Chains A and B, each alone.
Chain A
Amino acid sequence: MQVINLFGKKINVRSFLSRIFLTATLISLGIFVFLPTFYLISFTFLGWNEVYREVFANPLIGDEHWQQIKGILIFSFRIALISVLIDILIGIPLGYILARKNFRGKGVIEDLVTLPLVIPTSAFGFATLITWTTIAGIGGFLGLGRGLVELNYVVPIVKIPFLILIVHVTLTFPYIVRIFKSKLEELNPEFEIASRSLGASVFTTFRSIAFPQALPGLFSGAVLAFARSLGETGATIIVAGVNTTASIAIVKWELEFKIAPASFLGFLLIVIASSMILPVEYVVSRERSTSSLPNLTEMLKIEKYLLKFEKNVSRKLYWIKEVVSFIFIGVCVILPILVVLNSVVLYWNADPYTGKIEGGVIYQLFGPANYFKSLIRATAVSLIVAAVSTYISVCIGIAAVIIIEKYRFCRSIRSLLKVPLVVPTSTLGLSMILLWGPKGLGLVNPGIWLIILTHIVFSVPVVVESTLASYEGSDVEVYEEAARSLGATPYDVAETVTLPIIKRGIFTGAILSFTHSLGETGATFIVMGRDATVSTLVVNMVEALAIPAALFASTYLIALSLILLFAFRKISKG
């Protein structure tokens, strides 16, 4: 072992270097990821007097802000809860089909399930909006002469605006499908064969064997879906109409300089999100977690009817899961995209209904408003942001994976990294601007650099998660030990064994983080200053009622995300 003399002390070079590596990684994780995530909490506590005065005891409006926050939170929770329930209803059969059946076109269905994860949400929100509420959408196909539903139509019983619900369900169901599916795939199919040979029907087998074992997956998927719904901004802001969800409220208040109520709401959201994800992480990560369902014998009174029912369902209604899943994907994922494409063609030269060229795509892009120029500029901003933030995130992410795997005390970092994933992005944006912006440290002004810093916060966890998955899925440690025994140094091992094996996980994580960055709206809105990205530009266009320009920008974004989806598929399947 080489030993050097430093400040009169003898130091082992290798352990010295690894200590530097550990410290540097921890510091960069702290500065780039955890500080922004949790800063809002300390900000709220430090400025508690001001927050209290503004929120609870404003001399003019009293506790009006608090009342608003309460209403908004309840509204947001209702949306998230109902969305997740619908997600589960759709996600279970769809996950089961994708995990257990083989059919022509399965790959396409898998891609369509992944699409909502990579599609820029503002573009998707806009597509859903015109599909349901305008003559260009379903209403037009049916010949109604108007949209199928009103913008502010509220679904009875659950009292949630229809459009918000449909957008949230579509954007969150992939979490449940993908995690549930991969849990089912991990399961040895022999359990199900054994159950059937013991006399259980297909449905009974699913309920009593596969489902309980895949339940932890469903659980963690549901938490992610819930958090995503809570934090969804881009699509919601477009379809919300007169309604305000928590993440929209933060964006609005920040833009109106109502920092105190915005930060208080953000503080509540961070606390709620972390208190939700951390216990779940703990439960799911414990290996011996047996989901003990109520004993079958005790429920035997209903059990008999249930068995008979399940037998009938297995025999006669087996097709229902396919039909429900495919109709849902068709209506909620494929249809809006088709409508947008169709509308771009219709509106290309002029508004097809009034005939005015001012209502055409060409006029809006190249006319006086010159949206084309803004679009080009926004594209440049988006690509630079996505590329730089992904690059930095991959660097930090790989280092983080290494310290998580090598040092026992770093294991908890993995769970902590889930928090930025579930914190609503608009809250994150607020936290960023308060921390780095003119009112905080004054180091970074709103603009492209602050966008990059913000996107790093949620990109690092994405990269770490997918790299860790491929690290743990490929027995890397065995190969590392083999390489060490053959005489490789730790550095050689990392370069020649570890990195090549986990390469695919890193690429997958990079693409996911790139698409996240491209589609992110909530945080970007707050921190972008004058450097708009494409996805925020779509929102601006819709708010300026430049519908044809928005149509074009949405098509453009959807095309971009389809290309990325293709790349994602190529890499993740090898």
Chain B
Amino acid sequence: MEEGWCLSVINIKLIGLTKRFGTITAVDNINLDIERGELFTILGPTGAGKTTTLKLIAGLLKPDEGEIYFDGQLVNDVPPEERDVGFVFQGYALFPHMTVWENVTYGPLVRGMDPEKVERIGREILSKVHLLERADSYPRELSGGMQQRVALARALASGSKLLLLDEPLSALDARLREELRFELRNIVKETGATAIQVTHDKYEALQLSDRIAILRKGKVVQVDTPMNLFTKPNSIFVANFICDMNFFEGIVKKVSGEGAIIELRGGPLVKTLDRTHRVGERVVVAVRFEDVEIKPGETKRPYAIYGKVERISFLGPFIRIEVLLDNGEEVSVKLPATIGYKFELGDRVTTFLKPTKIIVYSYPRAGLAEELIVE
């Protein structure tokens, strides 16, 4: 990377970060360590405090409590223009009265760089996002995807140590969004910048990020790699938010060397390998849609649960079947379309929760329904 806009890559440390608006605590005692060059995502439902966290890091808001360190330096009192962060806004905030070129070179210019250097940075960064030939266009003349790339280029061109992306793809339509995910990751990774992205789209987070922090009501619930989050969600909230899962209440009946038997409401038993819960404990059994077996008719087998097909949704390559179980609960099953086609509404079926895939959680204090709210 050439000198000029080569980013001096930094790490970020947040300690006990708290921000209140009136009586609402938008960000509640957040502790995070973000590595050099990491593409880190803060994921959470609307109103979880994601954008507030981002603005605190950028210096656009002042924290009520806690500390923010850039490379070990406390930056709490540094004004935004001296923090050297590149902020990409949800709506891009491209200056409408300036051309693409003027937008991109604005940062270097106001930081007082030499004209030749400004020129070089502008060319380099615009060719990186493939927009050099559109340098004289105004933002309104560009497509949504192009505007997004200009916004990214502008943030990179100011030589920032840190890229902050506030829902960078949310203003684009669904198809373009999927295409641009990889491009965004490539550009950021090529520059080697540390980047923090905020989003409420789990697919975006899972595809793009090195690590993800799940935020709920201002608190960090789990920080991990996408793979670990998906396979080992540490709470019912994360499981529900990240994966498509069925949840059942139950009580542990028996714990033995090879696993545990749990009785669901209304009597059906399920088997699991998880032995961490005591006999008699109230628990929640979670299993992914795709980890439920389904057979037509009523087949006798241990730990089977019977029911009838209530709803069938066609999802392209997959079919989702919702079954009303005889105990009154519902279970969703995801099948490849090639197998799923043989089920019809009202069919009696046998379902079976795969013991190896079942995750068991202690029953939450606030109740199961409360944990499943994602808005």
How many angstroms between the C-alpha atoms of A257 and B81 in the bound complex?
66
How many angstroms between the C-alpha atoms of A191 and B151 in the bound complex?
12
> Range of interface residues on chain A?
20 to 34
| Contact of A291 with B97 at beta-carbon distance under 8 Å, contacts A198-B107, A199-B84 already known | yes
Which chain B residues lie closer than 8 Å to A296 at the CB level?
A: 102, 105-106, 109
Q: Are A304 and B91 in contact (CB under 8 A)?
A: no
Which chain A residues lie closer than 8 Å to B102 at the CB level?
A: 295-296
Of B26-34, B111-119, B223-231, B349-357, the one contacting chain A is B111-119
How many angstroms between the C-alpha atoms of A453 and B83 in the bound complex?
63
Q: Are B93 and A190 in contact (CB under 8 A)?
A: yes
Q: Are A196 and B80 in contact (CB under 8 A)?
A: yes
Q: Are B109 and A197 in contact (CB under 8 A)?
A: no
Q: Which of B80, B111, B158 has most chain A Cβ within 10 Å?
A: B80
| Contact of A198 with B106 at beta-carbon distance under 8 Å, contacts A190-B93, A213-B96, A291-B97 already known | yes
Q: Are B81 and A201 in contact (CB under 8 A)?
A: yes
Q: Are B118 and A197 in contact (CB under 8 A)?
A: no
How many angstroms between the C-alpha atoms of A350 and B337 in the bound complex?
102
Q: 8 Å CB contacts to A: which residues of B72-119?
A: 79-87, 89, 91, 93, 95-97, 102, 105-107, 109-112, 115, 118-119
- Interface membership of B374, Cβ < 8 A: no
Q: Are A194 and B158 in contact (CB under 8 A)?
A: no
- Interface membership of A297, Cβ < 8 A: yes
Q: Which of A193, A197, A293, A307 has most chain B Cβ within 10 Å?
A: A197
How many angstroms between the C-alpha atoms of A296 and B82 in the bound complex?
21
Which chain A residues lie closer than 8 Å to B89 at the CB level?
A: 190, 193-194
Q: Are B80 and A197 in contact (CB under 8 A)?
A: yes
Of A204-212, A328-336, A395-403, the one contacting chain B is A204-212
Secondary structure of the B side of the interface? Answer: mixed
Q: Are A304 and B80 in contact (CB under 8 A)?
A: no
- Interface membership of B15, Cβ < 8 A: no
| Contact of A200 with B81 at beta-carbon distance under 8 Å, contacts A297-B105, A303-B109, A308-B112 already known | yes
Q: 8 Å CB contacts to B: which residues of A64-112?
A: none
| Contact of A198 with B154 at beta-carbon distance under 8 Å, contacts A208-B110, A290-B97, A297-B109 already known | yes
How many angstroms between the C-alpha atoms of A237 and B28 in the bound complex?
65
- Interface membership of A374, Cβ < 8 A: no
> Range of interface residues on chain B?
20 to 34
- Interface membership of A485, Cβ < 8 A: no
Q: Are A193 and B106 in contact (CB under 8 A)?
A: no
- Interface membership of B138, Cβ < 8 A: yes
Interface string of A271-297 (1 = CB under 8 A from B): 000000000000000000011110111
Q: Are A199 and B107 in contact (CB under 8 A)?
A: yes
Closest to B60 in A: A193
Secondary structure of the A side of the interface? Answer: helix
Closest to A215 in B: B97
Which chain B residues lie closer than 8 Å to A369 at the CB level?
A: none
- Interface membership of A243, Cβ < 8 A: no
- Interface membership of A188, Cβ < 8 A: yes
Q: Are B81 and A196 in contact (CB under 8 A)?
A: yes
Which chain B residues lie closer than 8 Å to A244 at the CB level?
A: none
Closest to B85 in A: A197
Q: 8 Å CB contacts to A: which residues of B26-80?
A: 58-60, 79-80
Separation in Å of the A99 CB from the closest CB of chain B?
18
Which chain A residues lie closer than 8 Å to B105 at the CB level?
A: 296-297
Q: Are B110 and A198 in contact (CB under 8 A)?
A: yes
Q: Are A300 and B96 in contact (CB under 8 A)?
A: no
Which chain A residues lie closer than 8 Å to B59 at the CB level?
A: 197
Instruction: Choose one: B83, B106, B115; the contact of A208 (CB below 8 Å).
Output: B106
| Contact of A199 with B111 at beta-carbon distance under 8 Å, contacts A208-B106, A295-B102, A297-B118 already known | yes
Instruction: Choose one: A188, A199, A291, A292; the contact of B110 (CB below 8 Å).
Output: A199
A-B residue pairs in contact (CB < 8 Å), sample of 18? A191-B93, A193-B87, A194-B89, A197-B86, A198-B106, A198-B107, A198-B154, A199-B84, A199-B107, A199-B158, A204-B110, A213-B97, A290-B97, A293-B97, A297-B105, A297-B118, A300-B109, A307-B110
- Interface residues of chain A, those whose CB is within 8 Å of chain B, are 188, 190-191, 193-201, 204, 208-209, 212-213, 290-293, 295-297, 300, 303-304, 307-308
Enumerate the 6 nearest inter-chain pairs by beta-carbon distance, A residue then B residue, closest first. A198-B107, A190-B93, A200-B110, A197-B87, A194-B93, A199-B111
Besides the known contacts A190-B91, A208-B110, A295-B102, 5 further A-B residue pairs in the complex with CB atoms under 8 A apart? A195-B106, A196-B79, A198-B154, A201-B110, A290-B96
